[in-house]
Amino acid sequence: MRTLVVTGGAKGIGFGVAERFAGEGWHVVVADSDPQASADAAEKLGAEAAVVDVTDRAGLVDACRAAALRTGGIDALVTSAGITRIGPSAELAEDDWRAVVDVDLTGTFLSCQAAAPHLRDGSAVVTIASTAAFRGMPGRAAYCAAKAGVVALTRCLAAEWAPRVRVNSVAPGWVDTPFLRDAARRGHVDLDELAARPPMKRLSDVTDVVGAVRFLVSDEAGFVTGQTLTVDGGWVWAS
């Protein structure tokens, strides 16, 4: 049986990824820092829950080791755990900067590092970056920097781990998730304005991102590594 570990797998993009792979018969490990959400997601999907914070290296090592012991190895890792802190760069608290970098960038690295000894030959890693890696977005210095780091990390791991493991990234645009809707409720974004930005004239749906992840894990992408697939309806390159 093929095994997927997805960090941040209880909600949003991570849950969408977990749902898609579970539906295809994979053994899915929903790794998330929220114990209740992780348990609920795992129960709904017939998956395995692993309560782990991606800033906790030891917890990640234990979760990946346990997943590998159950099925003999890990076939895919998707790193979807992420947070943001919004505020003027000149006033952004150091704690907010560190929190975002610790989860979004260091957490991605630690997740990949924890999974590495258990990744089977021919396996795939897909990191979740963001179009923020390519755009200067006011008020999001930490998020932009962290996601740009994820893109660079992906390229480094792809070069280092080839040919045994492929490592790629997906960079979503504005995705209609609870994460984004919470930002809208706080007045940080206007959903209608965001939907009007890309040439495709809508927000990304979780399924758009999941489809890109699934492709990069699949055999059809067997000669693709070190790439970042932007899923944003054309927003970054058309504006």
**DSSP3 helix / strand / coil % (the chain, rounded to 5):** 50, 20, 30
Q: How far apart are CA 117 and CA 6, in angstroms?
A: 16
Question: Could you tell me the two tokens for 192?
Answer: 């209608």
Strand 74-79 with 119-128, pairing: parallel
Question: Could you tell me the two tokens for 122?
Answer: 């021919």
Q: How far apart are CA 52 and CA 32, in angstroms?
A: 5
State yes or no: is 143 an active-site residue: yes
Question: Could you tell me the two tokens for 175?
Answer: 């995705």
Among residues 97, 143, 161, 174, the one annotated as catalytic is 143
The residues annotated as belonging to the active site are: 143
